[in-house]
Structure 1
Amino acid sequence: MSTDTTENSTTESLRDKVINAIKTVYDPEIPVDVYELGLIYEISTYPVNNVYILMTLTSPACPAAETIPAEVEQKVKAIEGIGDVKVELTFDPPFTQDMMSEAAKLELGFM
């Protein structure tokens, strides 16, 4: 049982590292990171520290559509010990302001 606890805490710390890396990526038009904007739908970690991220953009016509997912992948790959990183882009469900954290809404003047 202690092995499971160790694995869970290791997975959690890896997940925290991934989230912290993602929080360094900003939409160039909005002064809020993509995590707080609610653009990250899923973060999954797998054995040998492989990471899968499902994300969206504020709109399909986002001018940074090429750069934001690539930057997310690059930042996560830079974490020591990370294996493979796959970032998948989806527009289902479409982004809405309701997906933003309270901190993001406050920063953007929606609260």
Structure 2
Amino acid sequence: MAEAAEQSRPYSPLENQVMTALSGVVDPELGLDLVNLGLIYDVAVDAAGLCTVTMTLTTMGCPLTDYLHDDITKTVKGVAGINDCKINLTFEPPWTIEMMSRYAKVALGLHG
């Protein structure tokens, strides 16, 4: 998973499944998944199957906000045991390239 995850508790097996599913959601501009980009800060699933995804974007006013929202929602709701998805968009802490996984940095040529 991305190095920048802000979770303060271990993920449940279902939350791990959601994170795995989210690794399939690709930022079309960068060509890398949101998890490796460090844009997913947390996932939490309650007893009713509501999954809350706390995330950020690389920049405020990102033109892909609606596209990513729809893709995340569809992906999360596709995980067995998830009934609904809520996305908390935050800019705290602000995203930086240090939040990307090593894989993402290498893929984008930022390994130096």
TM-score range, shorter chain: 0.7 to 0.9
Residues in 2 aligned to 1:81 and 1:66: alpha-carbon distance in whole angstroms: 24
Unaligned runs of 5+ in 1: 1-10
Runs of 4+ that moved beyond 3 A: none
- Distance, in Å, in 2 between the alignment partners of 1:85 and 1:61 is 22
Give the aligned CA root-mean-square deviation in angstroms.
1.3
Identical positions, percent = 38
Equivalenced residues, count: 101
Structure with larger Rg: 1
SS at match of 1:105: helix
C-alpha distance in 1 between matches for 2:46 and 2:65: 26
Which residue number in structure 2 is paired with residue 94 of structure 1? 94
Shift of 1:46: 1.3
Q: Distance in 1 between matches of 2:108 and 2:69?
A: 22
Structure 2 counterpart of 1:83, one-letter code? N
5+ residue gaps, structure 2, are 1-10
SS of match in other structure, 1:42: strand
Q: Does 1:30 align with 2:30?
A: yes
Q: How does 1:1-111 map to 2 (within 5 A)?
A: 12-111=12-111
> What displacement does 1:100 show?
0.4
Look up the equivalent residue of 1:104 and give its one-letter code: A
Structure 1 residue 94: Cα displacement? 1.6
- Contact 2:36 2:100 (8 Å CA) reproduced: yes
Larger RCO, structures 1/2 (Cα 8 Å, 6+ apart): 2
